[in-house]
Amino acid sequence: MSPSPATDARTDLQPGTLEMLILRTLTLGSLHGYAIAQHIGRLSDGVLRVEQGSLYPALERLLNKGWVTARWAESPTKRQARYYTITRSGRKQLDEKVSSYDRVAIAIARVMGRA
């Protein structure tokens, strides 16, 4: 069987959720892939670990949809890295995703008796 990266419990993200997290992260500014992964990992206290195998395909999808753009630039370590920037339609998309995510999150919390 081919090895699957999605079987690790810690990284089990719903499809679409990773895109939302990436877009949210990019609202901080232009970042390269590794920084995006680091940021998500740090903010979630290591619960959400974005692996390269899902990160770059997700970024490619976002590029194809036109929600982010990419360009090569020099990183602080003097190496060439590919920096991603969120576009206007990316922001709009993020707003929509966040609001629908909020609705679902609140609904789940209610059902679980936590709100």
Least distance to another protein, CB of residue 48, Å? 14
d(CA 84, CA 36): 9
Interaction of residue 64 with another protein, rule CB under 8 A: yes
Token pair for 20: 């939302």
d(CA 21, CA 36): 9
Least distance to another protein, CB of residue 62, Å? 9
Q: What count of other Cβ atoms lies within 10 Å of the Cβ of residue 79?
A: 8
SS3 79: coil
Stretch that binds another protein, among 19-27, 52-60, 95-103, 107-115 (CB under 8 A): 52-60
Residues that bind another protein in the complex, under the rule CB under 8 A: 1-3, 5, 32-34, 37, 49, 51-53, 56-57, 60-61, 63-67, 69-70, 72, 75, 79-82, 87-90, 93
